[in-house]
Amino acid sequence: MKLTCMIGEDKGRSHFLELSHFNQDSNRVIRVDDSVEGFTEISALCESKKPDSIILIAESPLRFRDDLQIGLLPRLIEVGINPASIGFVNLNGIVLCSDSEEQVLARLQLTTALAHDRVGHGKPLSVKKIKPVKRCLVVGDILDNDVKLLEQSGIELIRIWSGDNREMLSDVGLQSFSGLPGDYQIGLLQSDNKTEEYRCGAVFVNTSSLNPDQKRQLAEAMKIPFPADTFRLPPDRHTLTAGVWVLEKENEQKTAGWAAEVSSLLDRDTIESYLDACTVNLDKCGLCGACVKTCMFSANSIDLKSARIHFDQTRCTGCGNCVTACPVLARDLHHYSNSYMGNIAANLHAFKGRDGMRILGLFCESNGYKAVNYLAGTGKRVSSSYYFLPVKCGARIGTEIIPDSFQNGFDGVALLVCARDECNELVGSLDLERRFNLYRTIMKAQGQESGRMRIFSIKEKELGNVHDGLEQFARYLADLRTDQAVFSQL
């Protein structure tokens, strides 16, 4: 069974959408409030019907996955739903480029059908069960009350860069960090330059008591992008790394009860983590080493003894960089599989853009997604020649999307991704630029118009700039069409 859930208030942008509009694509469609009652209705239905795919439609629906406080995802997991079968349709990405309610409806039907297809074919994510280590790494200052609470719960603390002895410990730093909630492996660099290895079940970071060098060191060890002197945990890392608490000014309220949360997490018998990792087909692998080179999270290595790729699922963030790099398609992702990515352009054959012009817009789940939400929120619209679809990261976009799109009648391709220094997957945007710049050269050599493909590198603080760029790109493609029409008459 396919289950489609429209989440939002009746006064929201989806007010005109009738549930019957979706019956042709889904076996069951419900509309629920964005509330505990609404989530209870969804999880009850999932528990009784065990759907093969569940699509959540809302304005900015990734919050249901990324914000663990909302609690919808844990509820669905609790009733036996594998996260790989849950997909999201962002209404903002549809409203942004639609001229009328009819267009919103048509696009929403198509996007929802594609989303069902995408998650319906994904293999279930594997689950890792961990007996938690009752030790917590504390980085920066913490309150005496929190220390007391943790110690009373039998949790040992390892503290760095904190307390009165901050000077003394200032040259002790975090060298490496890996693992899953309940069992992280950390390497602490000692003053004698030796690294001591520890295991701990949880990590707490108080960014307000750290200096920029300490934040940078921490970000490097934890493989987190570090833009403009801030230290932030990327949203998808919140899901995968539910054992890390980061106290920063913006989320001070949210983190207030962190010590109690750490106690209850480490008090469990087992912690289950779903691994949103890529897959490897060792039978196809030609041992070229491209995945070893391209992975920034050290998830791949070559095992010389067995002459095989060794893949550590627990280190993989599922960015897709190695999937794009692998020359023999031995790698794949659950959410954005090779078969899905290879058919995007063909699957949109029913889409008709403004004046017959069609532009494929792929936006990453981070700054691309934020830009789409921001623009839709300001009430701005872009040309209805665009059709926007999400993709996890620029890392997952291969150059084959260009010829595929052109062959399927698209006039242009727009890629909305993070600026290099804000990419959650560290080199996703950088590698995307490298690949596509190389492909531009090939297009030029073949006499093709390389300007038909454009990358929008988006900074979180400059989301508004994307609007003019998208409009300008649409005008450029329209002019190109006019020129081509003139040439063809000569």
Residue ranges in contact with ligand SF4 by CB under 6 A: 277-278, 280, 285-291, 294-295, 297, 299-300, 309, 316-322, 325-326, 328, 330-331
* Three-state secondary structure readout of 367-415: HHHHHHHHHHHCCCCCCCCEEEEEECCHHHCCCCHHHHHHHCCCCEEEE
Output 37 or 283, the one with its CB closest to ligand SF4.
Answer: 283
**Considering the complex, what minimum distance in angstroms separates the CB of residue 328 from ligand SF4?**
5
Q: Which CB atom, from 65 or from 334, has the smaller least distance to ligand SF4?
A: 334
Sign of the dihedral through C-alpha 206, 211, 216, 221 = negative
What is d(CA 196, CA 65) in angstroms, rounded to the nearest whole number?
35
Asked whether the beta carbons of 115 and 90 are under 8 A apart, the reply is no
Minimum separation from the CB atom of position 186 to ligand SF4 (A):
19
Please report where in the chains the tokens 């060191």 appear, as a residue. 217
User: Cβ distance 324 to 397 under 8 Å?
Assistant: yes
Least distance from ligand SF4 to the Cβ atom of residue 61, Å: 23
Q: Round to whole Å and give the CA distance between 297 and 295.
A: 5
- Taking the least distance from each CB to ligand SF4, the nearer of 288 and 455 is 288
| Closest separation in Å from C-beta 154 to ligand SF4 | 34
Q: Give the Cα-Cα-Cα angle 447, 450, 453 (nearest 5 degrees).
A: 150
Identify residue 469 by its one-letter amino acid code.
G
139 vs 326, beta carbon nearer ligand SF4: 326
Using the minimum distance from each CB to ligand SF4, give the nearer residue, 256 or 282.
282
Minimal distance, residue 272 CB to ligand SF4, in Å: 20
Q: Cα separation of 174 and 200, whole Å?
A: 13
Helix (H, G, I), strand (E, B) or coil at 473: helix
Q: Which two tokens stand for residue 419?
A: 């600026």
Whether the CB-CB separation of 322 and 331 falls below 8 Å is answered with yes
Choice between 277 and 357, CB closer to ligand SF4: 277
> What is the smallest separation between the CB atom of 302 and ligand SF4, expressed in angstroms?
7
Report in angstroms how near the CB of residue 123 gets to ligand SF4 at its nearest: 15
